[in-house]
A and B are shown apart, each in its own frame.
Chain A
Amino acid sequence: MSKEIKIKINGIEYSGETGETILKVARRNSIKIPTLCEHSDLEPKASCRLCLVAIEDRKGLFTSCSTLIEEGMEITTDSEEINRLRKKNLELLFAQHIERCNFCVRELDCEFLKLAKEYEIDIKKYEDRKIGYPKFKFGPSICFDSSKCIDCRNCIEACEKQGVGFLDLESHNSFLEVIPSKNSKRDCVYCGQCAIHCPTGAFMEIDSIAEVETALADKNKYVVFQIAPSIRTTLGEEFGLPYGTDVTGKIFAGLRKIGAKKAFDVSVAADVTTIEEAGELIERLTRKKILPMFTSCCPAWVKYVEFYAPEFIPNLTTVRSPQMILGGLSKTYFAKKDGIDPQKIIVVSIMPCTAKKYEITRPELNIDGLPPIDYVLTTRELARIFKRNKIDLTLLESEKGDTPWDEPTGAGIIYGASGGVTESALRTAIFQLTNGQKLEQVEFKNLRGMKETKEAVIEINNIKIKVAIVNGLGNAKEILKIIKQDPSRYDYIEVMACPGGCIGGGGQPLPTTQEIRELRAQGLYNIDEIKSNRLADESPIIKKIYQEFLTNQEIRHKICHTHYLVKQKENNF
Chain B
Amino acid sequence: MNNLVIKLKEANLTGRGGAGFPVALKWESVINALGEKKYVICNASEGEPNVFKDGFILENYPEEVINGIALAMETINASEAYLYLNPNYYDRFEENLKKIIKEKSIKLFKKPHYYIAGEETVICNLIEGKKMEPRQRPPFISTVGLFGRPTLMNNVETFYYVSKINKGEYKQTRFYSLNGQVKNPGVYELPENLSISEILKQTDNFPDFEFFVQVGGGAVGEILSSEELDDQAKGAGSITVYEKEKTDFYKIMENWADFFLEGNCDKCTPCREGIYRLKQMVKEKNIDLSEMEPIFENLEKASFCALGRGAAAPFRDLIKKILK
B-contacting residues of A (Cβ < 8 Å)? 44-49, 52, 60-61, 66, 81, 84-85, 88-89, 92-93, 95-96, 126, 129, 150-151, 153, 169, 174-177
Contacts and interface: CB of A to CB of B under 8 A. Distances in A.
28 contacts: A45-B267, A46-B136, A46-B268, A47-B268, A47-B269, A49-B268, A49-B270, A49-B303, A52-B302, A60-B301, A61-B302, A84-B297, A85-B298, A85-B302, A88-B297, A88-B298, A89-B270, A92-B269, A92-B274, A92-B277, A92-B298, A93-B269, A96-B273, A169-B131, A174-B258, A175-B261, A175-B266, A176-B265
Contacts, number: 72
Nearest to A60: B301
Interface in B241-277: 258, 261-262, 265-270, 272-274, 276-277
Given A46-B136, A126-B277, A175-B266, 14 more contacts: A46-B268, A52-B301, A85-B297, A88-B294, A88-B297, A89-B269, A92-B298, A93-B273, A129-B273, A151-B266, A151-B267, A151-B272, A174-B262, A176-B265
B295 interface: yes
B204 to A, nearest CB: 38
A61 B277 contact: no
Nearest to B300: A60
B315 interface: no
B304 A174 contact: no
Contacts of B295: 88
Interface of B: 131-132, 136, 258, 261-262, 265-270, 272-274, 276-277, 280, 294-295, 297-298, 301-304
A458 B8 CA distance: 67
A559 B254 CA distance: 66
A149 B276 CA distance: 16
B266 A176 contact: yes
Contacts of A47: 267-269, 304
Contacts of B132: 176
Contacts of B270: 49, 88-89, 92
A176 B270 CA distance: 15
A78 to B, nearest CB: 15
A60 B137 CA distance: 13
A126 B273 CA distance: 11
Most interface-central of A85, A126, A177 (chain B CB within 10 A)? A85
A81 B294 CA distance: 11
A45 B274 CA distance: 18
A84 B296 CA distance: 12
Nearest to B309: A60
Nearest to B136: A66
B185 to A, nearest CB: 28
Contacts of A45: 267
Contact of B273 (A84, A85, A92, A174): A92
Contacts of B297: 84-85, 88
Contacts of A85: 297-298, 301-302
Which residue among B266, B269, B273, B303 has the maximum number of chain A CB atoms within 10 Å of its CB?
A: B269
Most chain A CB neighbours (cut-off 10 Å) among B136, B261, B277, B302: B302
Nearest to A36: B269
Contact of A84 (B136, B272, B277, B294): B294
Nearest to A153: B267
A83 B303 CA distance: 15
A23 to B, nearest CB: 13
A282 B136 CA distance: 52
A66 B261 CA distance: 25
A169 to B, nearest CB: 7
B277 A95 contact: yes
B160 to A, nearest CB: 32
Nearest to A173: B261
Contacts of B269: 47-49, 89, 92-93, 150
A421 B298 CA distance: 51
A49 B277 contact: no
Contacts of B301: 52, 60-61, 81, 85
A66 B136 CA distance: 8
Q: Which 7 A-B pairs have the closest CB atoms?
A: A92-B273, A174-B261, A88-B298, A176-B266, A174-B262, A49-B302, A85-B302
Contacts of B262: 174
A46 B302 contact: no
B284 to A, nearest CB: 11
Contacts of A66: 136
A335 B201 CA distance: 97
Residue of B262, B268, B274, B297 most packed against chain A (CB within 10 A): B268
A46 B135 CA distance: 10
Contact of A95 (B136, B258, B265, B273): B273
